Amino acid sequence: MTLADLQEMIRTTFGAKDARRGVDGTFMWFMQEVGELATALREGTPQEKAHEFADVLAWLATLANIADVDLAQAMAEKYGAGCPSCKQSPCQCARTEKP
């Protein structure tokens, strides 16, 4: 599944509901899922971790849909040429630098 496929699947399945909830409500759900992922990473089973990663990705796609952001395009523009800072792949930034 591509990012475009994911966004379309989420839009088709939940789009009307998501639009009614809006950005603020959706962001709160997204953050709740990030918290659940943090818990799963610390103490969850592999299946629980996978489930929470899927939830976080689905809510991120939901937010992107509501904000009218094409995730595939955004990723290609920012990361398509390698590291956004040093433009290398793999990244050659110093350890103290972001990323």
The verdict on residue 79 lying in a domain is no
Phi/psi for 81 (5° steps) reads: -100, 15
Q: What is the CA radius of gyration of the chain?
A: 16
CA pair distance 46, 50, nearest whole angstrom: 6
CA pair distance 54, 40, nearest whole angstrom: 12
The verdict on residue 16 lying in a domain is yes
The verdict on residue 95 lying in a domain is no
The verdict on residue 58 lying in a domain is yes
| pTM check: above 0.85 | yes
- Please say if the pLDDT value at position 98 is more than 80: no
pLDDT tens-digit profile of 47-97?
999 999 999 999 999 999 999 999 999 999 999 999 999 999 999 998 877
The verdict on residue 59 lying in a domain is yes
Q: Which domain holds residue 50?
A: 3-68
The verdict on residue 81 lying in a domain is no
The CATH number of the domain holding residue 11 is: 1.10.287.1080
The verdict on residue 89 lying in a domain is no
The verdict on residue 86 lying in a domain is no
pLDDT tens-digit profile of 24-56?
999 999 999 999 999 999 999 999 999 999 999
Please report the pLDDT score of residue 96 as a whole number. 77
Name the domain count of the chain.
1
